[in-house]
């Protein structure tokens, strides 16, 4: 099953370090970052899970719940969590799914035989409160994920959901944004963007971030 942006994130029930989880019910009205790991006790993934724990406050203020998945059983996960907490100086405070039967890996197309024969590739799914997949990223085993970028994408999605703007290259919180081309009425432009805008071209109009 190949999932695309705009698809509904598949629901599932699976064991985890925090007990059995029915995904959609667990997610509730929150945004979710679902991210996969090929195996427990792997070095790059250990740093990633530690970073996720360290960013708990950043995820919380954005209304985001992180949840990890690895194909090893839950007993192995608990041992790995102790190592993560010890080596990364953190407290893992989110569930790690124990996907030994590869149910979640199969639903989310995380098995790529030409990359890793029988383990999950390192995917990220950003899912909104309506359970819609809004962004995906896939990394090779050798490259650690950029969590600044994951947070940046979430910030962009949440901003552009609430205002008729898009975010330009390398945008980050506080930078100017782009007014979407569909807004052409001068009265609507004035109402939506009281700080004004710079029309570099008729199709390229920059305005200060509207919610700051």
> Could you tell me which of 34, 47, 45 has the C-alpha nearest to residue 150?
34
CA distance 138 to 121: 7
Structure tokens at 168: 């330009």
DSSP, res 76: H
Q: Are 84 and 53 in contact (CB under 8 A)?
A: yes
CA distance 134 to 127: 6
Handedness of CA 147, 152, 155, 158 (dihedral sign): negative
CA distance 49 to 43: 10
Catalytic positions are 45
Q: Are 134 and 5 in contact (CB under 8 A)?
A: yes
């Amino acid at each position: 099953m190949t999932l695309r942006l705009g698809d509904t994130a598949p629901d599932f029930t699976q064991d985890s370090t925090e007990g059995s989880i029915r995904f959609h019910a667990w997610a509730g009205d929150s945004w979710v970052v679902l991210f996969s790991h090929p195996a427990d006790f792997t070095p790059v993934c250990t740093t990633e899970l530690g970073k996720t724990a360290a960013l708990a406050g950043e995820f919380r203020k954005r209304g985001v719940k992180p949840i990890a998945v690895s194909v090893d059983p839950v007993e192995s996960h608990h041992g790995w969590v102790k190592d993560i907490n010890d080596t990364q100086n953190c407290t893992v405070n989110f569930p790690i799914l124990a996907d030994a039967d590869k149910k979640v890996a199969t639903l989310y197309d995380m098995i790529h035989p030409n990359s890793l024969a029988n383990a999950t590739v390192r995917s990220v799914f950003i899912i909104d409160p309506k359970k819609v997949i809004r962004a995906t990223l896939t990394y090779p085993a050798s490259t650690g994920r950029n969590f600044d970028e994951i947070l940046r994408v979430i910030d962009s999605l949440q901003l552009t959901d609430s205002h008729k703007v898009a975010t330009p290259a390398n945008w980050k919180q506080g930078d100017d944004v782009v007014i979407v081309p569909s807004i052409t009425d001068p009265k609507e432009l004035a109402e939506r963007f009281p700080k004004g805008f710079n029309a570099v071209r008729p199709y390229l109009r920059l305005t200060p971030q509207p919610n700051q």
